[in-house]
A and B are shown apart, each in its own frame.
Chain A
């Protein structure tokens, strides 16, 4: 499969625990984006990387959230001290700049915080 993959697909955790999600973009795509989608809403931008550099972070990304893309390939999104309000679908997308910014989305990781 040459699409964007995300793991795990589902995560259930207790409030206060830390969680980490992984995104593997399409291999030749050098930009990678994270979004969050809650019920009844469209995806909201969180952050993006060009290669290993994190170029922009949304105000939605509180201090408890951190994202990395250490080698410019896969990316991880960590949430520390999870809260019930963090329950959402976390989506990853990737593009090759110049391809008119058409994003290819992964299946998402659904987080449930109890």
Chain B
């Protein structure tokens, strides 16, 4: 069975600081990888996705993630966070059936 581990439960940063959120997954086969964001009171929104090809993927709002197959990792990065990035971030993996396995999420608080 696949599993996803997000290393940080809560991250607090000041505006303009750089962000990196860790995500490791456990699955032996081909996976599709996703990062979702959930703003307070809103539903899950897709930030970015990786299916194949270039392991460095760019998403919306200046986010990017790097897939490192040898480390089973898919870390999310942003060079300079803004107050509006305050939200919960979920890493997810899914396989051929399409069902997703999510990590427990990282709450990001950006101080103005």
List chain A positions with a Cβ less than 8 A from chain B. 31, 33, 35, 40-45, 48, 55-56, 91, 93, 95, 97, 100-103, 105-108
Chain A residues with CB under 8 A of B34: 102
Contact partner of A100 (CB less than 8 A), chosen from B44, B49, B90, B104, is B49
Tally A-B pairs: CB < 8 A. 58
Do A42 and B105 form a contact, CB below 8 Å, given A33-B99, A56-B99, A102-B49? yes
Chain A residues with CB under 8 A of B102: 42-44
Chain A residues with CB under 8 A of B82: none
A31 to B105: give the CA distance in the assembly, Å: 25
Cβ-defined contact, A43 with B43, below 8 A: no
Could you name 18 residue pairs across A and B whose Cβ atoms are closer than 8 Å? A33-B100, A40-B105, A41-B105, A42-B4, A43-B44, A45-B100, A48-B97, A48-B99, A55-B97, A95-B98, A100-B49, A101-B32, A102-B32, A102-B34, A103-B98, A103-B100, A105-B43, A105-B45
